[in-house]
Amino acid sequence: MNADIARALIAEAKRIVVLTGAGISAESGVPTFRGPGGLWKSFRPEELATPEAFARNPCLVWEWYAWRRSLVAECQPNAGHIALARLALELPGRTTIVTQNVDGLHHRAARAVAGRADSAPAYPLEVHGAIHRDRCSGCGRVSDGVTDVDPTSVETLPACVKCGAMLRPDVVWFGEALDPAVIGAAFDAARVADLCLVVGTSALVYPAASVPEVTLQAGGAVIEVNLEATSLSRLARVSLRGEAGKLVPTLID
Ligand code: BJW
Ligand code: ZN
């Protein structure tokens, strides 16, 4: 059975890189981006997740992020996040979690499993940033996210305490460079991994979608967990169809 092969690959792997996307948080109540009920069903990405969109209509962009920030704050990590945190904590240094998600749920799962002091080995590389942080669009200063954003006018939007410029969510929009240290660490982990476990991503957005490709090129194997087939499915040694919150714990626990 495919799940048995996946379990054996995980058990035998010396180094594992995990790449997660919005699908792992779907069962926590965080909407995915594409597909039915996705965050972009009524808006095109270029209208909301680009620096041009922010320059054109910062109130609309902030309204969307303020809504998502409050939604995510109410969500809890699910059994998929918890199982991955356990995997990373079981043998520190063996597993690197790389996430495209900005929801912070992997962090929270790590703390739930290990407590604050010991949870660091299960912290993910967040290649697209974090929605609960703000970044100054002028001086780049990063701060805790403002929780009561008023997006009714440009004057009421949050401003930098240092330089007065407009704050923005500390996330990576289309056309923006990912932090080279963070994506570089993700590729390093992918290169030395004998296994890449890919969970709940459409694998459409680059450069993050290259993480499993790097493992494959280095001779490692890929396991995919997704509700649907993706472009990665035909390259995966094992491609499992189902909900991450149900499947991932059965592979790991
Ligand atoms: C379940 C499930 C359940 C559901 N269980 N599964 C190469 C080729 C072509 C284009 C490019 C390229 N390289 C770069 C580009 C351009 C662009 C890009 O990739 N475009 C493509 C869309 C074509 N990339 C960029 O612009 C990146 N920057 C860049 O390359 O900079 C270059 C540069 C260098 C130097 C100077 C300047 C520039 C940046 C990309 C940033 C992406 N940002 C977003 C928004 C983040 C902030 C926010 O959250 O608002 O990141 S876009 C959005 O997509 C978000 C996600 O992290 C990302 C990926 O989405 P994800 O996670 O895969 O979600 P979905 O919804 O697509 O899929 C969910 C999956 O889960 C589905 O498959 C479901 O079936 C499944 N599922 N429930 C299991 N319960
Ligand atoms: Zn500033």
pLDDT of residue 191: 98
What residues have their beta carbon closer than 5 A to ion ligand 2? 136, 138-139, 141, 160, 162-163, 165
Question: What's the distance, CA 18 to chain centroid?
Answer: 11
E strand intervals along the chain: 16-20, 95-99, 125-126, 129-136, 142-144, 167-171, 195-199, 221-226, 238-241
* pLDDT 10s digits, 102-153: 999 999 999 999 988 899 999 999 999 999 999 999 999 999 999 999 999 9
Question: Is the pTM above the cut of 0.95?
Answer: yes
132 is catalytic: no
On whether the CB atoms of residues 193 and 220 are closer than 8 A, the answer is yes
Q: How far apart are CA 137 and CA 53, in angstroms?
A: 13
For tokens 């923005």, the residue is 168
If DSSP codes are grouped into helix, strand and coil, which group holds residue 17? strand
Of the ligands numbered here, which is closest to the C-alpha atom of 137?
Answer: 2
Helix, strand, coil % over all residues of the chain, rounded to 5? 40, 20, 40
DSSP secondary structure of 157-194? S-B-TTT-PBEEEEEPPTTSPPPHHHHHHHHHHHHH-S
Distance 146 CA to ligand 1 centre (A): 25
Does the beta carbon of 71 sit less than 6 angstroms from any atom of ligand 1? no
* pLDDT 10s digits, 189-212: 999 999 999 999 999 999 999 999
Question: Is a pLDDT exceeding 80 seen at residue 46?
Answer: no
Q: Which atom of ligand 1 approaches the CA of 225 most closely?
A: 79
What's 21's DSSP letter? -
Q: Which atom of ligand 1 approaches the CA of 102 most closely?
A: 49
